[in-house]
Chain A
Amino acid sequence: MTAFLRSLRDKDNLRGLGLISPSLLWMIGLLIIPLIVVMISSVGGRDPDGNVIFGFSFHNYLRLAGYNYDTPCGDVPPPCFDDLYLTILWRSLVLAFQTTALVIAVGYPLAYFVARAPAGHRNLLLFLILVPLWTNFVIRVYAWIMILRTQGVLNGLIGSALGVLNLPFKPLEMLYTPGAVLVGMVYEFLPFMILPMYTSLEKIDSSLFEAAADLGANPLRTFLRVTLPLSMPGVVAGTILVFIPVMGTFIVSDILGGRQVILVGNLIQRQFLDARDPAFGSAASILLMVMTLIVTIFYTRTFGFGEEIASA
């Protein structure tokens, strides 16, 4: 304490504290305290009005884990095991991984293309990637309804293409399928992957490519040994920027998945709106947060994102 008081006598300390305090106030008041409140309510219960009754019990978490204590699971009377929520969690995790992998696969060539384009063109090409991002998230999802629905644009295009070839065509059911949700997710988050990948690809000194070629590496080996490893920080940063929001999103699945594709995000949202069980929703949120943190930490440990942050 005396050390703290002594340090306050230092002018720099005072200035630093003064400058940081508004942001600290915000972060504590609107981030840390809410998180604590969520944690507390996740071990609580609910009253008939949908308010949280504070208490201490893990039954919300047990419910998530499959312990069903009030409704029958098929023929089995309660308490019984019900994998409903575990399936939702697993589905969300799989979808987040699929989205991330697809976004990397689709985004990498473009990021590479922009990073290697003549310096004068790069800003424009980059700008073109960002423009869709500035149209609203909800609007972007809506656009995919128009494209994917049974009588939508894509079926129309395929139909007229097949019509020219005189082939029979039955419109494909694309909307309200897991595939539609995946396409929507890729579309929503693609720019978030391209940007960091571009940044790290662009940073690579072109003399390194020359050095690799000079030492006998053909283009493929230069890519595998130099380009790819040096762009990994960008891929890792992009993965974090994509994986985390995909895990928590509920609009894409809500709109493009109809009621068929339920993800953790939808589960949480329903507890606060329809089901009126905020305590259970809080528990699901905490679980979601822990899951994303585990994946993020594991991922950054493996690929060394910490090093990148430290050097930045």
Chain B
Amino acid sequence: MPQFAVELRDVVKRFPGPSGEEVYAVKHVSLQIHDGEFFSLLGPSGCGKTTSLRMIAGFELPTTGAVMIHDRHMGETPPFQRPVNTVFQNYALFPHMTVGENVAFGLEMKRVPKTDIAPRVTEALRMVRLPGMEKRKPKQLSGGQQQRIALARALINRPEVLLLDEPLGALDLKLRKEMQLELKTLQREVGITFIYVTHDQEEALTMSDRIAVMSGGEVLQVGGAADIYERPNCRFVADFIGETNFLRGTVKEQKGKTTVVEVDGGITVRAESENSLAHGQSVTIAVRPEKIHLRPTSGAANAFAGRVEDLVYIGTDTHYGVRFAGDHRVRVREQNTDSASTPLARVGDEVTVSFAEAAARVLVE
């Protein structure tokens, strides 16, 4: 029984740059992806996520390091001999073939008998909820439909791993949300490992079992959605995933997890950290806006007087911009429950900003 569906071992990919110098697309990436997992590679464009995916598919070979699929070393195995299939960003449907021919292509290449192919094509199209589309040409389909055909074309081969390269990027928001749920359901049904590349953090959080956040060719953090959101391990991850307030300061003392940080401007903040930190070390504290409150809450380790500078009402929530302790500004998100049908505060009001020790995370640069 293989340990992992896909494993990247210290993979490096360098490209020759425009003026002859070597450019790193991927720097020493190691990842283990389990069987049946929905795994996302998340990061801004140019972070190396697509290159990593293309190395698994075999379109690129690693400069150094190894790509393993179910414990088999892929080496220089060409894409057409790898047990994986890809859903391309622009779908890459063959324009000269019908939908049916597109979907059948992989089986035909495996020399599956024609009589066996037809029912499987029908089944694959039914699975992506486009039954009876065999005779159409890709051009006659909408973006969302083309997307599903690309999915059917890949899944019909029953790959060991399905690779998806920003497959929803070209769709409009509403269709995208639908497809996210559908993809997740489909993945559960077929039980195939999905590796999903996206730059959309919400998409990654919605669908993935685990996420690898990448930046500058490196993997910064791997974990479940809650892990990454609640316990980011660096400023980049905290900033890239959701909205975060940052406060800079130096460590004053640490007792277990509890860390007291002296923030510039003369206030001290109690925060949590798993790492042991040296006295005087400069750190950043991250606090999510929804974890800050405008009223003193019992047991909140941190409470500071401030003034509301701006306010945005967006229906479910109200967002406040609050300045406190001289130069610090935080965003605060309060839910509009029925008990607070009138805003908690108005612009210019004096308020108390409070948050729990567990809500504040210490990040080391």
Contact = CB atoms under 8 A, between A and B. Distances in A.
Question: In the complex they form, do A and B come into direct contact, defined as C-beta atoms under 8 angstroms apart?
Answer: yes
Interface of A: 205, 207-208, 210-218, 221-222, 225-226, 229-230
Interface string B73-91: 0000011110011101110
Contacts of B106: 215-216
B96 A215 contact: no
B109 A217 contact: yes
The 10 closest A-B CB pairs, nearest first, are: A216-B109, A215-B106, A213-B79, A211-B92, A207-B92, A213-B80, A214-B86, A217-B109, A216-B80, A229-B96
B79 A214 contact: yes
Interface string B51-88: 00000011100000000000000000011110011101
Interface of B: 57-59, 78-81, 84-86, 88-90, 92-96, 105-106, 109-110, 153-154, 157
Contacts of A205: 90, 92
A208 B80 contact: no
A221 B110 CA distance: 11
A211 B80 contact: no
A215 B88 contact: no
Contact of A211 (B84, B94, B110): B94
B163 to A, nearest CB: 8
Given A210-B59, A225-B105, A215 B90 contact: no
Contacts of B81: 216
Nearest to A207: B92
Contacts, number: 63
A97 B341 CA distance: 84
Contacts of B88: 207, 210-211
A212 B95 contact: no
Contacts of B153: 215
B53 to A, nearest CB: 11
B94 A226 contact: yes
Contacts of A216: 80-81, 106, 109-110, 157
Nearest to A233: B96
Nearest to B82: A214
17 contacts: A210-B59, A210-B86, A211-B88, A212-B80, A213-B59, A213-B79, A213-B80, A214-B57, A214-B79, A214-B84, A215-B106, A216-B81, A217-B109, A221-B109, A225-B105, A226-B94, A229-B96
Nearest to B57: A214
Contacts of B94: 208, 211-212, 226, 230
A218 B92 contact: no
A93 B80 CA distance: 43
A200 B123 CA distance: 34
B105 A217 contact: yes
Contacts of A212: 80, 94, 105
A291 B346 CA distance: 87
B143 to A, nearest CB: 16
A230 B95 contact: yes
A218 B106 CA distance: 11
Nearest to A217: B109
Given A205-B90, A205-B92, A208-B92, A213 B78 contact: yes
Contacts of B57: 210, 214
A208 B153 CA distance: 13
A215 B153 CA distance: 8
A141 B109 CA distance: 47
